[in-house]
Amino acid sequence: MDDQTRMLAGLGGLGGLTPADVGDPDSVRKQQSLGQPQQDIGDILQQIMAITDESLDEAQARCWPEEAPAQWGGTDGPSEGGGAGRGTAGGALPLNFQHRKHALNCHRMKPALFSVLCEIKEKTVLSIRGVQEEDPPDPQIMRLDNMLLAEGVSGPEKGGGSAAAAAAAAAAGGSPNDGSIEHSDYRAKLAQIRQIYHCELEKYEQACSEFTNHVMNLLREQSRTRPISPKEIERMVSIIHRKFSSIQMQLKQSTCEAVMILRSRFLDARRKRRNFNKQATEVLNEYFYSHLSNPYPSEEAKEELAKKCGITVSQVSNWFGNKRIRYKKNIGKFQEEANLYAVKTAVDAANVSAQASQANSPATPNSGSSGSYSLSHTGDAYLNLRSLNGEGLSVAPSLQQQVDTLHRATHLTAGYEELSGSGLFTPHSLDANNSWQDTTNPPSVTSPPGGPGSIHSDTSN
């Protein structure tokens, strides 16, 4: 409100006053007492009108001061150094125009008039543009930013230079980890994208700042000859920045796309599986066959196995899922394997228990562990052993008793199913529904699927 009146006042006749002066009647009187203000204003306005009539050439010359920089270089002061160069570039311009220009530039009322004009312009621009100036951060660009950050394209460099990142990834394959080979390929490609992205981003930023500087210089230069407020320059800069950021968004968008394609081609092609190494499958099989009655490792056990095998927990889960289903589907096929691991486990168990206590009962439930996880279902190992013992494999003495007790109740055959009727142990602990169940309640056995070897129970023999 106050601004408005002040502005109008300035237009009306107080042109020579800076806004700060307006409120001071004394200053007005002072000005008027000089006896000139009216004439001054009229003078200036007339000259302005004259300039608006200038020819196109003149106007152009005025608009591109850097092409004739020294033309009217004397800023607000009467520094007339530029005048010397007038002879060369200024030759094309009419002398009277030069004169008018100069006179206007050096007019003592010019700064005040400029400030008023700036203010008016400011108001007009504001009213035209409205409040839509400060747009909130574009959600689109924020999404892109987040994604690039998540993908490791933007944000802090991981492991040094982009090329080094790939090298590091390749070097990381030194651990007994598989899958890092195609992973390193992926990382290399990602690093490439990353590099291009950063390169382009830098270029954009450089271009942006260059252009901004250029425009700012231009405007500053022009502000000597036409009313340009710093605010206006600021606004222009923000417009430029917005333009450039929209270009940047395109860059980000295409980078995101590239990353997505890369992902789908590499990471999602992780079906390109590698077989686990021998040691890993051994560890897994050991656990599986030593927990045959309940081959469901707990979360901790899975983690432990994963660590041991250099694979992920979900890979362990996959493995057990596959193993269970495939074992169940064809127990006969796995017989040999089962025996193998039973011996392994049993021997280990025997060694441990022999060391632990020789006089004591061999049935130390938790002693048998080939690894750091405990063998909670030691019985499984014995079950597998049963058939082995018949084949003349030597078993540690402490275990022999156990096996012997089993012998009393079982008939030794190579077959795996003969225990079904014994009610003592089931080799696979599968119930009628062919699913694993808790060892605590022995299965109500039906005859298993036509497995290998005939079924003969001891009781019937």
Partner DNA sequence: GTTAATGATTTCGG
Partner DNA sequence: CCGAAATCATTAAC
- Which residues of this protein are in contact with DNA, per CB under 7 A? 179, 268-276, 281, 296, 311, 315, 317-322, 324-326, 328, 333, 434-436
Beta pairing partners, 430: 436
- Nearer Cβ to DNA (322/361): 322
CB of 313 or CB of 363, closer to DNA: 313
**Cα–chain-centroid distance for residue 369?**
43
**CA–CA distance, 178 with 76 (Å, rounded to integer):** 74
In the bound state with DNA, the residue whose beta carbon lies nearer, of 384 and 429, is: 429
Instruction: Considering the complex, state which of residue 31 and residue 439 has its C-beta at the smaller distance from DNA.
Output: 439
Q: Which is nearer to DNA, 113 or 342 (CB)?
A: 342
Provide the minimum distance between the beta carbon of 280 and DNA in the complex, in angstroms, as a whole number: 7
User: Rounded to the nearest whole angstrom, what is the least distance from the CB of residue 312 to DNA in the complex?
Assistant: 7
Residue 116 burial by Cβ neighbours in a 10 Å radius (0-12, 13-18, 19+): buried
Question: Distance between CA atoms of 139 and 142, rounded to whole angstroms?
Answer: 5
Contacts of 324 (CB under 8 A, 6+ apart): 295, 436
If DSSP codes are grouped into helix, strand and coil, which group holds residue 39? Answer: helix
Q: Would you say 106 or 313 has its CB closer to DNA?
A: 313
Contact between 384 and 341 (Cβ < 8 Å): yes
Q: Which residues contact 79 (CB under 8 A, 6 or more apart)?
A: 73
The phi-psi region of residue 392 (left if phi > 0; otherwise alpha if psi is between -120 and 50; otherwise beta) is: left
> What is the smallest separation between the CB atom of 332 and DNA, expressed in angstroms?
11
Q: How far is the CB of 425 from DNA (least distance, A)?
A: 19
Angle at 106 between CA 42 and CA 118, to 5 degrees: 65
In whole angstroms, the minimum distance from the beta carbon of 373 to DNA comes to 16
Q: How far is the CB of 176 from DNA (least distance, A)?
A: 14
At which residue do the structure tokens 């062919």 appear? 434
Q: Which residue's CB is nearer to DNA, number 117 or number 169?
A: 169
In degrees, rounded to 5, the angle at the alpha carbon of residue 110 between the alpha carbons of residues 108 and 112 is 100
Q: For residue 125, give the H/E element and its range.
A: helix 110-129
Give me the least distance between CB of 134 and DNA, in Å please: 41
Cβ-based nearer residue to DNA, 13 or 310? 310
Q: How far is the CB of 306 from DNA (least distance, A)?
A: 11
Element (H, E) at 386: helix 378-390
